[in-house]
């Protein structure tokens, strides 16, 4: 079967004037590198689950995105992370919420899926589990980069920054025809400590079953209320809509907030709709070329060597 793969790096009000040419190039390269990582796993016969985790780990390590190192800061000036993974053939899932000090939250979510009887772990309990499983930790200060600290300082006069982009995710179809999705984020700038968004909520920010795999990005509360990712799958299964039609209905008609999704259907057909000013995204085309985009257009982008 043909492999399929896509990533996102967040959606929101992305001003062309607000992104320098240098930063645009770095974003395109980061998306291309993550897409290439997933492609390489799939091309070697690896699972969809391993592919989406490999890509999201790279995005968590890239400070241009709101996940892992470089995530936004909460009201106390700390980085708290949410992440989740799901595989389609058995609907197994793993997720973490409001976790601190775990270098790659998506790896912890994957470990919860593979090594525990649970689905969602949060806070200190999730951090202790990471230690028990031997996952790499990092001092909380390691996650804070100057750009995010300045952003946090600017938002102290307001309650929340809803314009933050950078939540990351990936969807994949492997050679066995199995699907998987993964999502990781730092949430909203100046959020209340302990706030958990859709990226940790199976069905809202992440979903995979036999019909499609979906990873979402946007205003998390609105995605939770609409159960966006699972809603798309339900429209395919119960209403007979195509992936493209289901995604369009949810993102452009039903969702009461800004954002978008990346999704791949059981036949490998992708869909990447968004209703916001832009969505950072990368996709593996049928000819093997990687394309990335920030606004409407997708451009061919070689992965960094």
Task: Report the share of the chain in percent with pLDDT over 90.
Answer: 86
Q: What is the mean pLDDT of the chain?
A: 94
For position 17, what pLDDT does the model report? Answer: 79
pLDDT tens across 31-82, in order? 999 999 999 999 999 999 999 999 999 999 999 999 999 999 999 999 999 9
What are the contacts of 251-256 at 24+ separation with CB within 8 A?
251/275, 254/226, 255/218, 255/222, 255/223, 255/226, 255/228, 256/222, 256/225, 256/226
Q: What is the pTM of this model?
A: 0.95
Q: Widest CA span of the chain, in angstroms?
A: 53
Rounded to the nearest 5°, which phi and psi values hold at 298?
-110, 135
302: pLDDT strictly greater than 80 = yes
Ordered by where they begin, the domains of the chain are 4-295 (3.60.20.30)
> CA dist 166 to 56, 244, 298, Å?
12, 23, 18
Residue from 222, 240, 243, 224 nearest 232 by CA: 243
Tell me how many degrees the CA angle 28-162-294 measures, rounded to the nearest 5: 20
* Mean pLDDT along residues 259-271: 98
Q: How many residues does the chain have?
A: 305
Structure tokens at 157: 């006069």
User: Percentage of the chain with pLDDT > 70?
Assistant: 96
Residues marked as catalytic: 167
| Among candidate residues 130, 41, 47, the one with its CA nearest the CA of residue 86 | 47
CB 1 within 8 A of CB 175: yes
Instruction: Give the pairing of strands 290-293 and 4-12.
Output: unpaired
How many helical (H) and strand (E) elements, i.e. helices and strands, does the chain have? 8, 13
Asked if residue 162 has pLDDT above 50, the reply is: no
């Amino acid at each position: 079967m043909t492999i399929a793969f896509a990533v996102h790096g967040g959606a929101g009000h992305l001003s062309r004037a607000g992104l320098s040419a240098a930063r645009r190039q770095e974003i395109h390269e980061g998306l291309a590198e993550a897409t290439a990582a997933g492609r390489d796993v799939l091309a070697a016969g690896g699972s969809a689950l391993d592919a989406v985790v490999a890509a999201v780990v790279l995005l968590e390590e890239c400070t241009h995105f709101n996940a892992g190192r470089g995530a936004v800061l909460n009201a106390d000036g700390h980085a708290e992370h949410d992440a989740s993974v799901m595989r389609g053939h058995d609907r197994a899932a793993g997720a973490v919420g409001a976790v601190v000090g775990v270098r790659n939250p998506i790896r912890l979510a994957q470990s919860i899926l593979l090594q525990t009887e649970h689905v969602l772990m949060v806070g200190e309990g999730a951090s202790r589990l990471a230690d028990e499983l031997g996952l790499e930790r990092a001092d909380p200060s390691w996650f804070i980069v100057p750009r995010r600290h300045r952003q946090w300082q600017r938002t102290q006069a307001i309650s929340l920054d809803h314009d933050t982009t950078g939540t990351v995710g990936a969807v994949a179809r492997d050679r066995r025809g199995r699907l998987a999705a993964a999502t990781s984020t730092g949430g909203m700038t100046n959020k209340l400590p302990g706030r958990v968004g859709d990226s940790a909520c199976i069905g809202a920010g992440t979903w995979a079953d036999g019909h499609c795999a979906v990873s979402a990005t946007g205003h998390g509360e609105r995605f939770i209320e609409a159960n966006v990712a699972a809603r798309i799958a339900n429209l395919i299964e119960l209403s007979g809509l195509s992936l493209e039609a289901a995604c369009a209905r949810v993102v452009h008609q039903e969702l009461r907030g800004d954002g978008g999704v990346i999704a791949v259907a059981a036949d490998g057909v992708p869909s990447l709709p968004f209703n916001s000013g832009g969505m950072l995204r990368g996709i593996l085309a049928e000819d093997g070329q990687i394309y990335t985009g920030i606004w409407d257009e997708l451009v061919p982008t070689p992965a960094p060597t």
